């Protein structure tokens, strides 16, 4: 799980956060940079409770409310992305330097798969022009049943992408 990020990434995301905080006249607290670092040294999806446990297991003293508040801030700064995969539990992932992708969720085992398709951008452009909006984020989820499961009665996609 704990995956050390490159020094460049660390500096780049800290710079983005610093700029965002200065631009919006927010304070540069130690908690904010600790949370950012924790998130960026982790791969794949995570939820708030998981992040809380991860940080508790290390030196950090941080409350859940601070995580909820600051993940919102990181969301606005474009440093994390939020997902709602049907369930009533929000999942997050880091956003910096990660190429755009969407998700397909297995309705039997809840595993999440990623895929890319450039046509989503064409749809986005159509919607923007038709409704006169500028899209800053999109979310596309497919909820699906495994074809193998239908045939064999077992749900075993070894090549799960995330979670």
Task: Give the footprint of its own copies on this chain (CB under 8 A).
Answer: 82, 84, 86, 88, 90, 102, 104, 106-107, 113, 115, 117, 119-120, 122-124, 126-128, 130-148, 150
Site for DNA in 12-51 (CB under 7 A): 25-32, 47-49
* Residues near 66 by beta carbon (within 8 Å), at least 6 away in sequence: 31, 35
Closest CA to 92 of 109, 111, 61, 68: 68
Q: How far is CA 88 from CA 47, 56, 83, 91, 141, in A?
A: 11, 24, 10, 10, 15
Applying CB under 7 A, the site for DNA has a residue count of: 25
Q: For tokens 């660390």, name the residue.
A: 10
Burial status of residue 66 (CB atoms within 10 A of its CB: 0-12, 13-18, 19 or more): middle
CB closer to DNA, 87 vs 125: 87
Which segment (57-65, 121-129, 131-139, 151-159) binds DNA by CB under 7 A? 57-65
Neighbours of 84 (CB within 10 A): 11
CB closer to DNA, 61 vs 138: 61
CB closer to DNA, 64 vs 145: 64
Q: From DNA, its own copies, none, which one binds at residue 142 (CB under 5 to 8 Å depending on kind)?
A: its own copies
Q: From DNA, its own copies, none, which one binds at residue 140 (CB under 5 to 8 Å depending on kind)?
A: its own copies
């Amino acid at each position: 799980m704990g995956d050390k990020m490159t020094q460049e990434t660390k500096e780049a995301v800290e710079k983005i956060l610093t700029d965002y905080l200065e631009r919006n006249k927010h304070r540069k607290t130690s908690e904010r940079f600790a949370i950012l670092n924790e998130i960026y040294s982790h791969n794949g999806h995570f939820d708030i409770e998981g992040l809380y446990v991860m940080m508790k297991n290390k030196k950090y003293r941080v409350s859940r409310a601070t995580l909820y508040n600051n993940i919102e801030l990181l969301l606005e700064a474009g440093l994390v992305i939020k997902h709602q995969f049907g369930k009533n539990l929000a999942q997050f992932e880091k956003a910096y330097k990660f190429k755009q992708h969407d998700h397909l969720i297995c309705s039997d085992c809840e595993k999440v798969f990623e895929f890319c398709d450039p046509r989503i951008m064409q749809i986005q452009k159509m919607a923007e022009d038709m409704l006169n909006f500028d899209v800053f984020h999109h979310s596309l989820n497919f909820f699906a049943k495994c074809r193998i499961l239908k045939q064999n009665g077992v749900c075993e996609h070894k090549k799960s992408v995330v979670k």
